[in-house]
């Protein structure tokens, strides 16, 4: 029995490294109450970027302006990932890695370092470890070829935390960090509270964020921010996804676009995302989206739009094409992009 179990686990691990899905695909019973699951996906992207914002494998809230327009094309598979989940009674442990950890030599091997995405333990509503911030509603992320899509409009952070969930209410203390100011004295955790409303129509989350930020001159500033995000089912299989973030949300929104402190002042942000997905057939669908972000101290202004078309060739294999534009409006630069993607999920 033990030999058979080891063989099955070895086979599952091999298959996981070849293909993978965020949703677990291979489940194995371990003992009387245990279950081991393997999942992940393989994703291959071909991306062309043209404009005066330098090429990136996926857009984030910041970019490198170019003196002259440039064109670049790349093929990569770094978004591919694998995960393992172990459940034993009321205890669940989860770990996931992808390959955006740096490294890689495009001249020869294109090796890429693995990167830890998630590593957490859950027990009866208590979650401890590294995972998505409680401030973030993951169901409100649109389907895109560009990784996450319009990150300027997203709450998007994974970090260490301790979270407790009571029905539709969640509260957490999370790892403190700030961009700008005195980061050596981040001595109080960030606090997040969230309430979820859900039904057959979809879901909406209401999140609040409180932080203590220290300036370089030794002053302590209290920062508060809020978020409303969700997905609403519309006609047939169509859905509308949205996020709105206001206040002193800083690094929690925009993936690198915003500082928490600019000099002695707390940066205030307005950010939003709207995305509509339409199913042309049971297997063919499109998403059109627009994201926007602006700040009131450093006067940052960023925007992104895209439209795509995805087709499932099999239930597990999808191909897609996406066109869009990323603009750093405060610096009057932008780039267009075209991306082809193939994703195989277990």
pLDDT in tens, 87-107: 999 999 999 999 998 887 888
Dist CA 68 CA 126 (whole Å) = 52
Within 13 Å and on the Cβ side, how many CA atoms surround 328?
Answer: 19
Q: What would the pLDDT profile of 107-156 be if each residue is shown by its tens digit?
A: 888 888 999 999 999 999 999 999 999 999 999 999 999 998 899 999 99
Bridge partners, residue 262, by sequence: 265
pLDDT at 25 over 70: no
Using one digit for the tens of pLDDT, what is the confidence trace for 229-247? 999 999 999 999 999 999 9
pLDDT confidence of residue 287: 98
For the stretch 180-219, pLDDT in tens is: 988 877 789 999 999 999 999 999 999 999 999 998 888 8
Average pLDDT score over residue span 241-262: 96
Tell me the two tokens of residue 249.
């949300």
Overall average pLDDT of the 266-274 stretch: 97
Q: pLDDT band for position 272 (50/70/90)?
A: very high
DSSP state of 149: S
What are the chain's domains? Answer: 2-345 (2.40.160.10)
Mean pLDDT throughout 13-21? 34
Q: First CA to last CA across the chain, in angstroms?
A: 26
| N residues, the chain | 346
Percent of the chain with pLDDT over 70: 93
Q: Rounded to whole angstroms, how far apart are CA atoms 98 and 41?
A: 10
In terms of Cα–Cα distance, which of 208, 279, 193, 298 is closest to 249? 208
Cα 300 to Cα 260: distance, rounded to the nearest angstrom: 13
Average pLDDT over residues 254-263: 94
Output DSSP code: residue 52: E
Residue 1, pLDDT above cutoff 70:
no
Which of 47-56, 82-91, 108-117, 309-318 has the lowest average pLDDT?
A: 108-117
Query: Using the 8-state DSSP alphabet, how is residue 183 labeled?
Result: G
277-287 tens-digit pLDDT: 999 999 999 99
Torsion of CA 105, 108, 113, 117, to 10 degrees: 90
Count Cα atoms within 13 angstroms, Cβ side, for 18: 7
Residue 132 backbone phi and psi in degrees, to 5: -60, 140
Q: What is the pLDDT of residue 149?
A: 85
- Quote the percentage of the chain above a pLDDT of 90: 80
Structural contact between residues 335 and 50, judged by C-beta atoms closer than 8 angstroms: yes
**Residue 45 scores a pLDDT above 90:** yes
């Amino acid at each position: 029995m033990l030999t058979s179990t080891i063989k099955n686990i070895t086979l599952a691990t091999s298959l996981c490294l070849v293909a993978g899905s965020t949703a677990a695909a291979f489940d194995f019973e371990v003992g009387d109450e245990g279950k081991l699951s393997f999942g992940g996906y393989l994703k291959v992207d071909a991306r062309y970027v043209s404009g005066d914002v330098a090429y990136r494998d996926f857009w984030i809230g910041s970019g490198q302006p170019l003196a002259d327009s440039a064109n670049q094309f790349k093929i990569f598979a770094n978004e591919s990932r694998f995960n393992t989940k172990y459940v034993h009674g009321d205890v669940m442990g989860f770990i996931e890695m992808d390959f955006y950890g740096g490294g890689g030599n495009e001249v020869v091997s294109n090796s890429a370092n693995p990167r830890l995405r998630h590593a957490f333990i859950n027990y009866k509503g208590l979650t401890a470890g590294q995972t998505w911030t409680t401030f973030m509603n993951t169901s409100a992320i649109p389907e895109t070829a560009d990784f996450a899509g319009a990150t300027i409009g997203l709450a998007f952070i994974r970090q260490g935390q301790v979270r407790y969930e009571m029905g539709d209410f969640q509260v957490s203390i999370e790892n403190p960090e700030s961009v700008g100011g005195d980061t050596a004295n981040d001595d109080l955790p960030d606090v997040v509270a969230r309430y979820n409303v859900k039904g057959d129509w979809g879901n909406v989350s209401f999140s609040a964020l409180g932080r203590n930020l220290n300036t370089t001159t030794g002053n302590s500033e209290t920062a508060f921010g809020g978020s409303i995000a969700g997905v609403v089912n519309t006609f047939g299989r169509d859905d509308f996804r949205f996020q709105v973030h206001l206040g002193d949300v800083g690094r929690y929104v925009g993936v690198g676009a915003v500082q928490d402190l600019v000099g002695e002042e707390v940066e205030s942000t307005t950010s939003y995302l709207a995305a509509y997905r339409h199913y042309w057939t049971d297997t063919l669908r499109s998403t059109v989206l627009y994201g926007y972000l602006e700040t009131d101290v450093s006067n940052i202004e960023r925007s992104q739009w895209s439209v795509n078309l995805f087709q499932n060739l099999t239930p597990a294999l999808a191909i897609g094409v996406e066109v869009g534009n990323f603009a750093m409006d405060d610096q009057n630069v932008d780039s267009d992009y075209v991306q082809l993607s193939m994703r195989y999920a277990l």
